[in-house]
Amino acid sequence: MKPMNSTIRIGIADDHQLFVKSVSLLLHAIGGFEVVLEAANGHALMDALAKSNQPPDIILLDVNMPLMNGIETAAALIKTYPLIKVVALSMNTDDISLIGMIRNGCCAYLMKDISPAELQKALQEVHSKGYYNSENMQHNMHKLMTQNTQDLFSEKELQFIKLACSDDTYREIA
């Protein structure tokens, strides 16, 4: 692991160019970070990494991107580049995105509306500790763990699941 006073190398994958450039400029202004790679989607990111001599320490990864979304990209990154830490940076607040990104190796799940100070803290903690748990992520994970499974399905879906587990054929169920 690099010493804490060294520059943290960052990659950013997001299909919104203005956002990528803004985050890049912000990290440069904060200091201690160097954006070494920018990509508009998962395919472009994987291609750029394959050509890179020095991969980033951390990749900020959007969830919703064309061609190869964040969940698919996170899975490919962890498999191909296990030393790179992946941080999800998204506007998605849904449980499926959060679970998908964490299951596929993300070290943190950040909302795009976080403050610059929290982004800095998150990147530094991911670099030093290997993970960062934002209050938002802790709240969502707690909600998921305490949520009644009955809340996940409608009454009709639960009825179908029960019938599908019976000995009845689908024709009989219909």
| 172 in a structural domain | no
Q: CATH number of the domain at 28, please.
A: 3.40.50.2300
Would you say residue 158 has pLDDT above 80? no
Across 22-36, 96-110, 126-140, 152-166, the highest mean pLDDT is recorded for: 22-36
**Count of the separate structural domains present in the chain:** 1
| 140 in a structural domain | no
Instruction: Read off the DSSP letter of residue 132.
Output: -
pTM: 0.75
Q: Tell me which residue range forms the domain holding 14.
A: 8-133
- The DSSP result for 87-128, as a single string, is EEEES---HHHHHHHHHTTEEEEEETT--HHHHHHHHHHHHH
What is the spatial distance between Cα 105 and Cα 18, in angstroms, rounded to a whole number?
A: 26
pLDDT digits (tens, 9 = 90+) for 59-90: 999 988 888 888 899 999 999 999 999 999 98
What is the spatial distance between Cα 141 and Cα 170, in angstroms, rounded to a whole number?
A: 36
pLDDT-derived band of residue 140, with 50, 70 and 90 as boundaries?
low
What is the spatial distance between Cα 51 and Cα 5, in angstroms, rounded to a whole number?
A: 27
| 77 in a structural domain | yes
| 162 in a structural domain | no
| 52 in a structural domain | yes
